[in-house]
Amino acid sequence: MSQTLIDERKLGTEQVQVRVVDSDVHPYPRRGELAPFIPGKFRKLFAARGEGVGNSVFYDPPDYAHASAMRVDSFPADGEFAGTDPHLTFRQLIMESGSDIAILGPLNSSGGQTEEETHALAVATNLWQDNCWLDSENNWHQRYRGSIVAAIDAPDLAAREIEQWAGHPYMAQVLINAEMRPAWGDPRYNPVWEAATRHNLPVACHLGRGQHNELPMSPVGFLSYNHDFMVTYSLLAANQVMSLVFDGVFDRFPTLRIVFIEHAYSWILPLMWRMDAIYAARGPENGLKRKPSEYVKDHIWFTTQPLDFPEDKLELTNALEWMEADKILLFSSDYPHWTFDEPRWVAKHIPERMRERIMFQNSIDVFNLPSTVPALPGQVRAF
């Protein structure tokens, strides 16, 4: 790959077709990089709390002390954390793996102890993205899109933050945490859905790991290992889907688009059957206007990573057909996390009939992205 290209940071005039949109990429602030963007009132407080603290991991992914839950080869040479260097992300993900457009989903905005604090972190994270990733120096290639991070537990403040950034040329979605209680059917969240739909922005949620009841907690007590914990984490998303559907959120907001990031997706197949069976058995006792599975197919998308792979690949192919995956999946890599899915590998395992929709077209539609971008000589094309 051409180092000269990166050093020059100049775009040619030639346009190429977008073939891969990567809907789950994680940028991290370098040490101290976020602090200047934190609203003054909270800057000292956060600094004081952060003083002298260490690692807080529990439910540790494999070999954590050496890998920190990251792709081991994604740490920059300067000793900073994985995902802190926009140029390295560009080289590894866009040039060498062929993700044409990367939707950045920062995860550093959780951890506030009050709604105001969570909101302050969201404000800082948005300013930081704008200044350190989406600016002309770091996004010279125009391949990065950002997320308007919004504190879902402070719906009015979140709506204001959405208003603040809507219309930014590189902000592609609203990003909220998945774990706040209650579930999303609760009308208290209306201002967020309202602001997002007003600006035609999809609302995405990434899984996070909080403390206490936002860990999240299973209904039958704490799991033992990262293995059973991360696998059953999908059930939180399954419950959010049911809440959105049965509480009538999509009837309240007929243009709302929801994206579930990294919650896995194959469970939506039996979940659609189950919701439809309950609907058929109990009738529209919640005032629903349509079958639950129809709301899912029109309003909800799932990112592909981690692509859970069965022993027999034909089973995956069949499941993708039965769930009409071409309507609901968006490719994602999760770079630079250890569960990274390589675009070429994913493309290979998606049935050809669905490949283009899942690898890029659905995302172009959901995130209102361009279908061509300025060419980058030497870039790997994933398929």
Partner 1 sequence: MHRLARGREHVVATVDEIAPGESKVVPIGRHGVGVYNVNGKFYAIANYCPHEGGPLCVGRTHGQSVVDPERPGGAAEAREGEFIYCPWHQWGFELATGTTAVKPEWSIRTYPVRVEGRNVIVTA
Partner 2 sequence: MSSAPHPLIDASVHIFFKSDADLRGHMHEPFASRGFPEPDVAWFAPPGKKYAPGTANPDGSHQASDPETVGRAIFAERGFDFAILHPMSGGVMPDRHLGAAILTATNEMMAERWLDTGVYADRFRGTIRIDPNDVDNAVREIKRWRDHPRIVQIGLPLQTQEPYGRPHFKPLWRAACDASLPVAVHLEMGAGITHPPTPSGIARTYSQHVSFQPISYLYHLMNMITEGVFEEFPELKVVWADGAADHLTPMIWRMDTFGRPHLEQTPWAPRIPSAYLPEHVYFVQGALDGPGDVEFASEWLRMTGKEDMLLFGSSYPDWQLASPEKLPSAWTDEQREKVLWRTAAGLYGLPAAVPA
Return residues touching partner 2 (CB under 8 A): 60-63, 179-183, 185-186, 213, 216-228, 230-232, 234-236, 238-240, 242-243, 246-247, 264, 266-267, 269-271, 273-279, 281-282, 285-286, 306-311, 315-316, 318-319, 322
CA distances from 240 to 38, 236, 268, 296 (A): 30, 6, 12, 12
The structure tokens 């040490």 sit at 31
Minimum distance of partner 1 from residue 65's CB (angstroms): 10
Q: Are strands 21-25 and 15-17 parallel, antiparallel or unpaired?
A: unpaired
What are 199's two structure tokens? 């600006």
**The residue count for the chain:** 383
Nearest to 339 by CA among 19, 85, 70: 70
Strand, helix or coil at 171? strand
Q: Which CB sits closer to partner 1, 51 or 312?
A: 312
- Choosing among partner 1, partner 2, none, which partner's interface includes residue 269 (Cβ < 5 to 8 Å by kind)? partner 2
- Choosing among partner 1, partner 2, none, which partner's interface includes residue 285 (Cβ < 5 to 8 Å by kind)? partner 2
- Choosing among partner 1, partner 2, none, which partner's interface includes residue 344 (Cβ < 5 to 8 Å by kind)? partner 1
> Which listed residue (198, 338, 351, 374) binds partner 1 by CB under 8 A?
338
| CA 324/CA 93 separation, integer angstroms | 28
Stretch that binds partner 1, among 49-57, 118-126, 153-161, 337-345 (CB under 8 A): 337-345
What are 103's two structure tokens? 């939707």
Amino acid at 19: R
Q: Are strands 372-374 and 15-17 parallel, antiparallel or unpaired?
A: antiparallel
- Choosing among partner 1, partner 2, none, which partner's interface includes residue 73 (Cβ < 5 to 8 Å by kind)? partner 1
- Quick one: which H or E segment has residue 258? strand 258-261
- Choosing among partner 1, partner 2, none, which partner's interface includes residue 186 (Cβ < 5 to 8 Å by kind)? partner 2
Told to check if 344 binds partner 1 by CB under 8 A, we report yes
Amino acid at 25: V
Q: Which CB sits closer to partner 1, 117 or 341?
A: 341
Binding residues vs partner 1 (CB under 8 A): 61-63, 66-67, 71-73, 338-342, 344-345
